[in-house]
Copies of this chain bind each other. A is one copy, B any other.
Amino acid sequence: MGSTFGNTLRVSIFGQSHSPATGCVIEGLPSGVTVDMARLQHFMDRRAPGRTPWSTPRKEADEPRIVSGLNAAGQTCGTPLCAIIENANTRSGDYATISRIPRPGHADFAAWAKWGQAHDIAGGGHFSARLTAPLCVAGGIALQLLEERGVHVAAHVLQVGDVRDDRFAARDMDAAAQQRLAGQMRRLHQLPTDAFPVLDEDAGQEMMSLIDRIRRDQDSVGGAVECVATGLPAGVGGPRYDGVQGAIARIVFGIPAVKGLEFGAGFEVAGLRGSQNNDCLELRDGQVLPSSNFAGGTLGGISTGAPVLFAMAVKPTPSIARPQQSVDLTSMEPATLEVRGRHDPCVAARAVPIAEAAMALALLDSWLSYPPTDWRA
């Protein structure tokens, strides 16, 4: 279904930007795992709006209330976990015009064509970035479970406009590269929740000042996020259409702003030769391991034991104060629109924990649904 993903671990997202609440239901969580609410809240705070100069001033506590799925001791009890996030700070007034005049770059018109006037357009309704909050609740819990199994996830802003950050050291597999990657991940994990998440601080400074210029310019700018996961054993994932790539893609392309996704060398492979792109195999401590990781940790949908690596492109926030041409769906006349409301000039930074959530949910479900099987065990 449209707002649900996953097989064994199944996540449903519900809510609209201005409905009483948003939330998620997670089915298939293993039982007996204690959910660390403080760490979950810390993860939520990285995405929460209203805390930084580069995010929307709309302030939301984003404190999930878990109403089912835990026992009295705070452990998962095996049954569906539902988390609710109340929508405190809604200002539908801002959206009076929009309910008649769809905003360019938003799903407003497409949703109207689909659901008619009943579509709850305020704030983008179900397509609002607010809906990434419940996704992060589910992802934050998945991250805690994966860490119990030695899988670690990190992400950073790869690009904003024409400014680029360093890349994760995830293409080479030698000891030096692995150490460098571990350091990069550690650094990101130690950042305060209101830091701009990059590997190269200077690039981060440039990105922030670019974003600031663009905000003053009443405009917005796009970006890209890179995400990596280490510690996933080889043999995880379904074949072909439900493999690790597909599981990640399904969640990532469900984030309305995302227009591109690549794994490992990504689009660069179009220019490469087989002799360059093939990851040879070697033995390390008796383990078979790829010697390089152009594949981004997955072949044929199945994990190879190398880090899982993806990058996603997020478009510039469509809501800008500049006048734009649209159509009044009531009078069916052309109309000029100036979007008020409160919006991020660039969503890349807030998309970083969202990318981690997508990675964690896709990998955990792949592991639970398609483990390396031993029937006779």
Contact = CB atoms under 8 A, between A and B. Distances in A.
A32 B322 contact: no
Closest 3 CB pairs of A and B: A107-B300, A2-B238, A113-B235
Interface in A101-123: 102, 104-107, 109-120, 122
Contact of A241 (B73, B250, B259, B271): B250
8 contacts: A2-B301, A14-B68, A78-B119, A110-B303, A161-B270, A246-B249, A246-B253, A259-B266
Contacts of A33: 375
B235 A114 contact: yes
A216 interface: no
Contacts of A300: 106-107, 110-111, 127, 256
B25 A281 contact: no
A221 to B, nearest CB: 5
Interface string A279-315: 1111100101001001110111111110000000111
Number of chain copies forming the complex? 4
A84 interface: yes
A362 to B, nearest CB: 11
B110 A299 contact: yes
A177 interface: no
A322 to B, nearest CB: 6
Most chain B C-beta atoms within 10 Å of own C-beta, residue among A79, A268, A298, A304: A79
Given A20-B67, A274-B220, A281-B326, A299 B241 contact: no
B79 A3 contact: yes
A65 B20 contact: yes
B274 A320 contact: yes
B159 A271 contact: yes
Interface string A112-152: 11111111101001110001000000000000010010000
B68 A313 contact: no
Contacts of A270: 158-161, 222-224, 313-314
Contacts of A28: 1-2
Contacts of A56: none
A259 B316 CA distance: 24
A327 B239 contact: no
Nearest to A255: B240
A97 interface: no
Contact of A31 (B118, B299, B334): B118
A69 B241 CA distance: 17
Interface in A220-270: 220-224, 233-243, 245-246, 249-251, 253-254, 256, 258-270
Nearest to A348: B270
A77 B118 contact: yes
Nearest to A30: B375
Contacts of A241: 2-5, 13, 250-251, 253-254
Interface string A88-103: 0000100000000010
A72 B117 CA distance: 12
A295 to B, nearest CB: 7
A352 interface: no
